[in-house]
């Protein structure tokens, strides 16, 4: 009995980490544009285009690394487009973000139909998966809780701490934050707001690219239409709750990962699978709601 519970907890933990990784990567990317003054609603599309091109190039070259790189490049390209519209053409970021999301959603479907002859999903044994940090120490805890995750999981945690340093301790981070909070000051210092935002968008594109690759080359190893399923907006919720602080994002993404894992687990239980499937979305609304209730109380007390 005890053994079974331990197995269950281990599976849940591992699924949580697996599901949390793309959300973490995307929200770290979005945090960069958030600090630069852009609420990034295009992350959904960035992840989706990367998920698609990762699968395609991993399939064509047989190498997950080329897949990831292709996905990142595609994601960066869309992110650059977003940035040009928002920062230089001064278009509304929500309007352009959603237009891009819808473009990517139909473009990936269109390309899949053209390239792989009319299917709603593309999978093949030739798609190379992202490698895990394979280490068998013989210790149950180390093997299941520390090692043997996707290398992108370790990378994402590293990036979280790196960004915590970059955003609050470097001159680039300072420019980023000033760009979001006081763009006039940046202008006065002779730095172009648009270019700071452009750089943050490029980095955001790269991180969302990694997120998409983790989704399609590790979590499921296939591409299906709209497979990101709102994760870009779960990531946006994580950014809004954390105020763009990387270490907090780390915790919140993990929390959202747990809900995703519970959703996967509950689907095999007796309750209707639809309730399991809606759980992550309900919980991200609930967490956002709790956060707002708390801040409102704090404002009232102050």
Partner 1 sequence: MFTARTPSLKKLSFSLLLVVCILSVWALIIWFGGESPFKGFYYIIDGSLGNHYQILSTLNKMVPLILAAAAVAVPAWTGMWNIGGEGQLLLGAFGAALVGFSVDFGVGLVNIVVALIVSAAFGMAWAAWPAIFKIKLKMDEVVTTLMGNYIAAQIIAYLINKPFRDPKSPLAQTPYIKSSFVIPYLFEGTQFSATFFVAIVIVLALFIFRKRFLLGYEFEITGSNSVFAELSGVRVSKTKMLSMLIGGALAGLAGGLLVLGMTQRVMQSFSPGYGFTGLLVCLLAFNNPLLIVGIAFLFSVLHTGSVNLQLFSSVPAEISGVLQAVMVLFVAAFKTFIVGRRDG
Q: Which residues bind partner 1 (CB under 8 A)?
A: 39, 41, 81, 85, 89-91, 94-96, 98-100, 102-103, 105-107, 109-110, 113-114, 118, 229-230, 233, 236-237, 240, 272, 274-275, 277-278, 281-282, 284-285, 288-289, 292-293, 296
Q: Cβ of residue 150: shortest distance to partner 1, in angstroms?
A: 25
Q: Cβ of residue 43: shortest distance to partner 1, in angstroms?
A: 12
Q: Cβ of residue 116: shortest distance to partner 1, in angstroms?
A: 11
Sign of CA dihedral 187, 193, 194, 198: positive
Q: Cβ of residue 233: shortest distance to partner 1, in angstroms?
A: 5
Q: Which is nearer to partner 1, 95 or 135 (CB)?
A: 95
List strand residue ranges (DSSP E) for the chain, in order.
Answer: 121-122, 223-224
Q: Which is nearer to partner 1, 6 or 278 (CB)?
A: 278
Q: Which is nearer to partner 1, 96 or 213 (CB)?
A: 96
In whole angstroms, give the CA distance from residue 210 to residue 205: 9
Query: Tokens representing 68?
Result: 């990831």
Q: Cβ of residue 243: shortest distance to partner 1, in angstroms?
A: 13
Q: Which residues pair with 2 in a beta bridge?
A: none
Q: Which is nearer to partner 1, 139 or 295 (CB)?
A: 295
Q: Cβ of residue 179: shortest distance to partner 1, in angstroms?
A: 19
Q: Which is nearer to partner 1, 39 or 151 (CB)?
A: 39
Q: Cβ of residue 282: shortest distance to partner 1, in angstroms?
A: 6
Secondary structure (H, E, C), 167-206:
HHHCHHHHHHHHHHHCHHHHHHCCCCHHHHHHHHHHHHHH
In whole angstroms, give the CA distance from residue 285 to residue 227: 20
| Closest among 249, 237, 173, 181 to 21, alpha carbons compared | 249
Alpha carbon separation from 216 to 23, 68, 197, 231, 291 (Å, rounded): 13, 10, 28, 13, 31
Q: Which is nearer to partner 1, 146 or 272 (CB)?
A: 272
Q: Which is nearer to partner 1, 68 or 235 (CB)?
A: 235
User: Would you say 263 and 279 are in contact if contact means Cβ atoms under 8 Å apart?
Assistant: yes
Residue 40, φ and ψ in degrees, nearest 5: -85, 105
Q: Which is nearer to partner 1, 166 or 240 (CB)?
A: 240
In whole angstroms, give the CA distance from residue 193 to residue 267: 47
Alpha carbon separation from 263 to 228, 254, 275 (Å, rounded): 15, 14, 8
Q: Cβ of residue 266: shortest distance to partner 1, in angstroms?
A: 12
């Amino acid at each position: 009995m005890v053994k079974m519970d331990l197995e269950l907890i281990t599976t849940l933990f591992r699924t949580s980490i697996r599901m949390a990784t793309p959300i973490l990567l995307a929200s770290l990317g979005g945090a960069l544009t958030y600090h630069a003054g852009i609420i990034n609603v295009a992350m959904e599309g960035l992840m989706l285009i990367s998920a698609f091109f990762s699968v395609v190039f991993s399939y064509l070259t047989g190498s997950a690394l080329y897949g990831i790189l292709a996905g990142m490049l595609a994601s960066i390209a869309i992110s650059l487009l977003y940035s040009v519209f928002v920062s230089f053409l001064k278009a509304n970021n929500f309007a352009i973000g959603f237009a891009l999301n819808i473009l990517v959603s139909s473009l990936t479907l269109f390309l899949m139909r053209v390239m792989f002859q009319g299917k709603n999903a593309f999978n093949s044994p030739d798609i190379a998966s992202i490698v895990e940090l394979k280490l068998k120490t013989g210790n149950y805890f180390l093997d299941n809780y520390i090692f043997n995750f996707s290398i992108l999981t370790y990378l994402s945690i590293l990036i979280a701490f790196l960004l915590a340093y970059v955003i609050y301790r470097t001159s680039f981070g300072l420019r980023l934050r000033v760009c979001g909070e006081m763009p006039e000051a940046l202008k006065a210092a002779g730095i172009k707001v648009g270019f700071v935002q452009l750089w943050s968008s490029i980095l955001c594109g790269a991180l969302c690219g990694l997120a998409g690759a983790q989704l399609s080359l590790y979590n499921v190893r296939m591409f299906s239409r709209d497979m990101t399923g709102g994760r870009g907006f779960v990531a946006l919720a994580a950014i809004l709750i954390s105020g763009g602080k990387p270490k907090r994002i780390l915790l919140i993404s993990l929390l959202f990962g747990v809900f995703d894992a519970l959703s996967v687990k509950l689907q095999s239980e007796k309750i209707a699978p639809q309730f399991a499937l809606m759980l992550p979305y309900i919980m991200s609304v609930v967490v956002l709601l709790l956060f707002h209730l708390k801040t409102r109380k704090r404002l009232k007390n102050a």
